[in-house]
Amino acid sequence: MFEIVLSLNQQKTFENTWEYFCELYGWYNDPYSTGGLRYLLLLPSHSKTVIGTIEFIPYDEENPNSTVEGHFQFSKIEKVKEHKERVWEIDKLCLHKDFQRNGHFEGFLEIFYHHAQEYRPKYYIGLMEKRFFRMVRIIFGVYIIQVGKEIEGETTILIPVVLDMEKIMNNEKMALNLFNKGFKHKNTFNIKQIFNFKLKRRNTKKKVETNH
C-alpha cells in the first residue's frame, strides 16, 4: 500500500520519515526537487503507519539539484544519454529497520509499477545505499546493474545503478511474477495491465512517427 505525496501534511510526513533515517545513518539529505514525485510506503495491516519513502525525479544532467549527477556522471553512460528524456532518478529510498526482514521491501514494487504505468520510464538511475542495493538486486535480478565503482562516504557506501524498467514491463512473465509480489495484499494486478503498458508504448511511438 502507498500514498502519493500531494498535501503539505503528507510532505511533512515524508520529510520526518526520510530525515530521521538520514540522521540515524549519517546519510546526506539531498534537496527536495520541485519536480519530484514522492511516495509513502504504508504498512498493509495498518494503512496509517508509514514504513518507507521513495522519490522519483525526471533526470536532467543540467539540474544543479540533481541527486545523482553531482556524485556520478550518469550522463556519460550511452544508454542514459540516448534516452535521457525517459530517464528518472530514484532518490530518498528508505524502509524502517523494523520491517526490512519481513518482506515489506516488496511493497515498493507496487510503487514502481504505479509510476511506470503513469510515466513510461525506460530507465531508472540512482545512487543506492549498498544494503538496499543487495535487496533490490535480489528482486530485479539482471534488470538492475551496477554501472560504476562504489562511492565511499563517511558512514555509507553508495552504488551507481541503472534499472531497465521498460525491459521488465515488456517481459510479460517477468513482470507478472515480479509485480504480483508487490500486490500480494490485493488482487489488482493481472496480465491485462502489462498488455496495457505495451499498447500505450506502441501508440506513443505511432504518434511520434506521425508528427515527423
Q: Give the dihedral sign, CA 54/56/59/61.
A: negative
Mean pLDDT of the chain: 81
Locus of grid cell 495484499: 185
Question: pLDDT (tens digit, 9 = 90+) per residue, 125-166?
Answer: 999 888 889 888 888 889 999 999 999 877 788 999 999 999
Question: pLDDT (tens digit, 9 = 90+) per residue, 79-101?
Answer: 999 999 999 999 998 888 776 66
Fold of 2-211: Aminopeptidase (3.40.630)
> Does residue 182 contact residue 107 with C-beta atoms inside 8 Å?
yes
Burial 127-159 (b: 16+ CB within 10 A, else e): bbbeebbebbbebbeebbeebbeeeeeeeeebb
Q: How far apart are CA 150 and CA 155, in angstroms?
A: 13
For the chain, counts of helices (H) and of strands (E): 7, 8
Parse the chain into domains and list their residue ranges.
Answer: 2-211
Residue 53: closest CA among 23, 11, 116, 115: 11
pTM, entire model: 0.81
Q: How far apart are CA 71 and CA 176, in angstroms?
A: 34
∠ CA 171-59-114 to the nearest 5 degrees? 45
Question: pLDDT (tens digit, 9 = 90+) per residue, 11-45?
Answer: 999 999 999 888 877 777 878 888 899 999 998 87
> Does residue 169 contact residue 177 with C-beta atoms inside 8 Å?
no
